Amino acid sequence: MITLRAAELVRADLPLVRPFRTSFGVQELREAVLVRVVCDVEGVEAEGWGECVAGSDPFYSAEWGLGAWVLLREVLLPMLAEEPLTTIEDTPAAMSEVRGNRMAKAAAEMAITDAALRARGVSLKAYLGGERDRVECGVSIGIMDSPDDLVAAVGTYLGDGYTRIKCKIEPEADVAFIAAVRETFPDIALTVDANAAYTLADADLLARLDAFDLDYIEQPLAEEELMEHAALARLIETPICLDETIVSAKSAEDAIALGACEVINIKQGRVGGLAEASWTHDVCVEHEIPVWCGGMLETGLGRAANLALASLPGFTMPGDTSPSSRYFHEDITAPFEMAPDGTIAVPTGPGLGVAPLPGIMARVVAEREKVEL
């Protein structure tokens, strides 16, 4: 049995090493909403941490940090404290009466899972059934001012050892930019991410990207446009990877059945937690659809969860799990570092395998609030 005894919400403000620009705007700060819980796990008291991947505003997603904070404080965490959980797997069902709000639910689930596994001395990787000790690193590059700037950035990251380059694109910053990258680096694993910046009317323009031998184009159309993605897949040769459209294992199954994608990006926060992410992985493996683990500018807590998830056998493509130094001058946990071969080690300690460092937390925590259970 797992009984939630205490909970606290924490906001940590971490300046980014460099601004990250997408079609939704420019982000200079990661305002991380963190969840700390204390659980009784079969008589053993343990602390656990979770991270909400929602951004500071509701422009990329309907969810946002302040909204998640209030929902966690007022509804989700008190709901989880009402009755003991028989197993970790019961956590999503215990929050199922709440509609949507998958990122907030994922943060609560991560914290409960971390505490329960720490009490039992089991790593998240082992709990999920991960097989890899190290995970290949890809990098996501925000929209640059010019093709030359993008080429320079790509060259820097290749020099750092990244095994996959992903470039954000949007109208007026697409074909010429990617042409310059491919001309300069003809043999690299190259992908693009549109963050839903196009419509089906742009099919002819998107078809011009076929010339650049991309591994995939990620989320070219709006998240609700599943049928349009299926139509676009018939008009272009570049494989379509779905990101924001995939919010559950069921949505992945539907997208595959409709022929709307050939690759899927699984983000545990976007689908509602580690359990749903694992089920989504299983659906993709069953249908022989390659998957990779997406990132949301997470701190070391969310990064540890992503690494454990990406160690599952179906994650056959490099994801967005860059080392801590890609985003932060200092992370709230011990930093994740990339080896010369472009991989990061999957944590093997109990639970997430990492925890916030008190000295750093003292510098970056902007707000704390105890949750009344």
Residues 297, 300, 306: CA angle, nearest 5 degrees = 70
User: What homologous superfamily does CATH list for 2-121+357-371?
Assistant: Enolase-like, N-terminal domain (3.30.390.10)
pTM: 0.93
Taken in order 345, 349, 353, 354, is the CA torsion positive or negative?
negative
Question: pLDDT at position 320, please?
Answer: 84
Higher per-residue pLDDT: 352 or 297: 352
Give ∠ CA 319-336-246 in degrees, rounded to 5.
Answer: 30
Confidence of residue 295 (pLDDT cuts 50, 70, 90): confident
- Domains of the chain, by residue range, sit at 2-121+357-371, 126-345
- Look at residue 60 in the predicted model and tell me its pLDDT: 82
Q: What is the pLDDT of residues 69-126, one digit of tens each?
A: 999 999 999 999 999 999 999 999 999 999 999 999 999 999 999 999 999 999 999 9
In this predicted structure, the answer to whether residue 312 has a pLDDT above a threshold of 90 is: yes
Residue 46, SS3 per DSSP: strand
In terms of phi and psi (left: phi > 0; alpha: psi -120 to 50; beta: otherwise), the region of 101 is left
Q: What is the pLDDT of residues 317-352, one digit of tens each?
A: 998 888 898 889 999 999 999 999 989 999 999 999
Tokens matching residue 149: 């700037």
Least Cα distance to 331 among 20, 52, 17 occurs for: 17
Retrieve residue 179's tokens: 């042409």
Q: Using one digit for the tens of pLDDT, what is the confidence trace for 118-163?
A: 999 999 999 999 999 999 988 899 899 999 999 999 999 999 888 8
Identify any residues that bridge with 2 across adjacent strands, giving them in sequence order: 41, 85
**H helix intervals, 83-129:** 91-94, 102-120, 124-128
Give the homologous superfamily in CATH for domain 126-345.
Enolase-like C-terminal domain (3.20.20.120)
Residue pair 37/72 in contact by the 8 Å Cβ criterion: no
Catalytic residue annotation:
168, 267
Rounded CA-CA distance 12/368 in Å is 9
Predicted local confidence at residue 24, as pLDDT: 66
What is the number of other CB atoms lying within 10 angstroms of the CB of residue 169?
A: 26
pLDDT at 21: 67
